[in-house]
Amino acid sequence: MGDHYYTNDPSSKSAPETWSYELRGKTYRFTSDRGVFSKGSVDFGSRLLIESFEVPHVSGRILDVGCGYGPMGISLADASGREALLVDVNERALVLSEQNATQNGVTIETRMSHAYDAVGDERFAAIVTNPPIRAGKQVVHTILRDAHDHLVVGGALYVVIQKKQGAPSAKKLLEDVFGHVETLVKEKGYFIFRAIRS
């Protein structure tokens, strides 16, 4: 196997694939590639998060942290009518996100960023993440913990994580930071957590 997706410049040879996929009742066309998370289909966890997302009651943009080729940020921006910022450390993923937004008629902004490094002090109505488990627990927990400071009051963090990849410790961390965490969905070992900034 080549290098994993949590890298700035994947060395694996490009071999893009394009397919259609229905999310929230609408068909999208996505292109992904080697060196990017989930090539060839929208992964189960991202789909669960997309389908369980609720449009925020507060104003502001959506932030997708670790966006990959963009299915969460693009489909949720489209469904909510909100602008979205998609960030990732992977250059190839960001190029694909922009390409996928264009081919689906959705406007997004992308930035190369490790966690929230390139986000500045902007606060968001919603943050969504399918965190990069392969990057290690420290990176994942940084994404979860620091989300609180990047949400407006009433804004919500949505996280998908598998039980075997640390869902219990992730939930405890979120409870410590946010005070309360909801488990929106539990299916096939995947959990969707929602934490709202009060």
- 35 part of a folded domain: no
Q: What pLDDT score does 40 carry?
A: 80
- 38 part of a folded domain: no
Task: Please give the model's pTM, rounded to 2 decimal places.
Answer: 0.94
Series of mean pLDDT values for 10-residue runs along the chain (198 residues) = 48 88 97 88 96 97 97 98 97 97 98 96 98 93 98 98 96 98 98 98
Residue with tokens 């990176």: 139
**Nearest Cα to Cα of residue 52 among 75, 29, 31:** 75
**Number of Cα atoms under 13 Å in the Cβ half of residue 104:** 32
Q: What pLDDT score does 68 carry?
A: 95
Q: What pLDDT score does 82 carry?
A: 97
Q: What pLDDT score does 9 carry?
A: 58
Q: What pLDDT score does 38 carry?
A: 83
- 16 part of a folded domain: no
Contact of 36 with 92, CB cutoff 8 Å: yes
Q: What pLDDT score does 122 carry?
A: 97
- 7 part of a folded domain: no
- 34 part of a folded domain: no
Contact of 37 with 75, CB cutoff 8 Å: no
**What CATH number does residue 89 fall under?**
3.40.50.150
Distance CA 26, CA 48 (A): 15
Domain count, the chain: 1
Domain containing 62 equals 44-196
- 133 part of a folded domain: yes
- 24 part of a folded domain: no
- 8 part of a folded domain: no
